[in-house]
A and B are shown apart, each in its own frame.
Chain A
Amino acid sequence: MRAALFLPLAFLLAACGAAPRVEFADASITLPDDPGDLPEGPGRDSVIENCTACHSPSTMLQQPKISREKWEATVKKMVTLYKAPVDEKAVPQIVDYLLAAQAGEGDVSRETPR
């Protein structure tokens, strides 16, 4: 859905002496749904419960392969810096899931039409 986003271009054509005028119209958009695609695997529910409310799964799945320590530090950063209400008991499952997803064969780009 596209709202009326175009403002009159009067300001570009303003004659000498006339005060340039810009008219601002309300604007709204509808963003596409997020399919939230996450490959099956142990810990998937923990990722859905703790991570994907704030951001799409691609944030995680498109990262280059990184170590367990780096994933643990990343989850910790989400909690301490970005105040993500992550269940502490779920962190090992989240990290296991992300490591397994990255270890999968080939290219993991999950938000794809199939």
Chain B
Amino acid sequence: MSDGKFTRRALVAGAGTAALAVPAAGKLAGGMIDLGLPGGPSLRPTTPDFPGKRDMIVQRIRPPLLETPMDAFREGVITPNDRHFVRWNWSMPTEVRAGQHRVAVGGAVRKPVSLTLEEIAAAGEHVSIVAVNQCAGNGRGLSEPRVTGTQWGNGAMSCAKWTGVRLGDVLAKAGLADSAKRVRFAGLDVPLTDGAPQFIKSIPLDVALREDVLVAWAMNDEALPILHGFPLRIVVPGWFSTYWVKMLATIEVLTGEDESHYVAETYRWPTAPVKPGDKDFPTVPIEAMPPRSFITSHADGDTVARGRPLTLEGFAFGGDVGLAKVELVGAGEGGGWTAACQLGPDEHGPYAFRRWSVTLPHVTGDLAEIGSRATNTKGLSQPDALVWNPSGYARNVIERITLRAQ
């Protein structure tokens, strides 16, 4: 199929109208934000101009990459839809007719089916789950040494309530063949060029059949916005969002390993520590999320009152399991000192953001390079030093700030 695909001539012609002929009229409204990326470039525009969005950090207009400003995380544990980060690998349609949308379920199944949205919604019990949606490359721009790719600050994450049916119930409409090993998803977003790899992703069958892995149509009790994958997206709580395929159109059951580009060749990371310049090391797909935590009450360089108590607040999540604890830690390896933080209520289960706070009784001087350290119920803690990898995946180093006493 070449309709809508780009030939070289069409690309050049398109560039002519899209880029050459557009004067200042196309400017986005909004201001600028400094993401603090070491060595820069660090400034990004912010804009409320994307549909259904308040101010978002613009990493890319086309296809859209919008980062959530950290101030959206100062209160609560649910990120509103109009602040939820946006990430598309390829361009997506900007219009979807619900009545015409179908989800094809095929591959290693007993009977391939093509399901309407109503048939999906009737496939099983409706389930809601609150889960963190986080890009595998969240925080990549903070890597030192720097690496290429989308230069996210830490805002390529959000937490929402997702509602849909279990993927297992949708698979049951077709019936799994005995040879089923993995389940692969494709959406309506397709490459602009012929022969480029489509953004398709797969998960092992045991994960696909988990009780909490969903085909979701609602996000915080609203229909999924187009920017978040209307009409349906996969939700894999605890796993990075690369697997949460949006605008779901195809479910394909595989009988073996997935050799497609976005599983076999990218979204992978080393099995053992590597250094910049290392090559040909073994890699595995980036899947389950590790724990992370952030201070939201104060920013780096803020001043605090000497001789007074100080309360710090923030939020954390355990990754693919719940949180066990959050501690405030001092500078240096091991932290020198730690202070146990009080966790907020476990309102939404193991995959959600959770708030924390801690009060230091008496500020005696500057608080240099302090950070929060989350530990999950598997005993995994945030590391003191970045686990550097050439794609900048799965950042979860302790994020540090310095507060000046006055």
Contact = CB atoms under 8 A, between A and B. Distances in A.
B45 A113 contact: yes
Interface in B18-66: 18-20, 22, 24-32, 37, 39-45, 47, 49-52, 58-64
B1 interface: no
Contacts of B244: none
B201 to A, nearest CB: 17
A2 B51 contact: yes
Interface string A48-89: 110011111011011111100010001000000111110100
A34 B26 contact: yes
Contacts of A64: 37, 39-41, 141, 146-148, 151
Contacts, number: 204
A29 B226 contact: yes
Interface in A1-21: 1-2, 5-7, 9, 11-12, 14, 19-21
Contact of B41 (A14, A22, A108): A108
Contact of B261 (A24, A29, A81): A81
A42 interface: no
A27 B191 contact: no
B50 A62 contact: no
Interface residues of B, number: 76
Interface string B186-229: 00000111111100000000000000000001100111011100
A6 to B, nearest CB: 6
A53 B223 CA distance: 31
Interface in B129-173: 141, 146-148, 151, 163
Given A27-B96, A32-B47, A83 B195 contact: yes
B243 interface: no
A107 B223 contact: no
Interface centre among B25, B193, B197 (most CB of A within 10 A): B193
Given A53-B18, A113-B45, A11 B126 contact: yes
B98 interface: yes
A11 to B, nearest CB: 6
Contacts of B45: 109, 111-113
Contacts of B51: 1-2, 29-31
A41 interface: no
Contacts of A32: 26, 28, 47, 49-50, 61
Contact of A113 (B28, B40, B122): B28
Given A29-B94, A35-B28, A85 B7 contact: yes
B94 A28 contact: yes
Nearest to A71: B148
Nearest to B9: A85
B123 to A, nearest CB: 11
B43 A29 contact: no
B167 to A, nearest CB: 17
Nearest to B5: A83
B280 interface: no
B403 interface: no
B264 interface: no
B337 interface: no
A70 B26 contact: no
B221 A9 contact: yes
B192 A6 contact: no
Contact of A82 (B32, B61, B147, B196): B196
A95 to B, nearest CB: 14
B310 interface: no
A27 B7 contact: no
B222 A6 contact: yes
Nearest to A19: B122
25 contacts: A6-B222, A12-B163, A14-B126, A24-B99, A24-B117, A24-B231, A26-B96, A27-B226, A29-B94, A32-B28, A32-B47, A33-B22, A33-B61, A34-B61, A35-B26, A49-B12, A52-B18, A53-B6, A56-B60, A64-B39, A82-B196, A108-B41, A109-B32, A109-B41, A111-B61
Interface of B: 6-8, 11-12, 14-15, 18-20, 22, 24-32, 37, 39-45, 47, 49-52, 58-64, 94-99, 101, 117-118, 121-122, 126, 141, 146-148, 151, 163, 191-197, 217-218, 221-223, 225-227, 230-231, 261
Pairs A-B, 9 closest by C-beta atoms? A36-B19, A85-B8, A64-B146, A33-B26, A24-B98, A28-B95, A29-B51, A35-B26, A53-B11
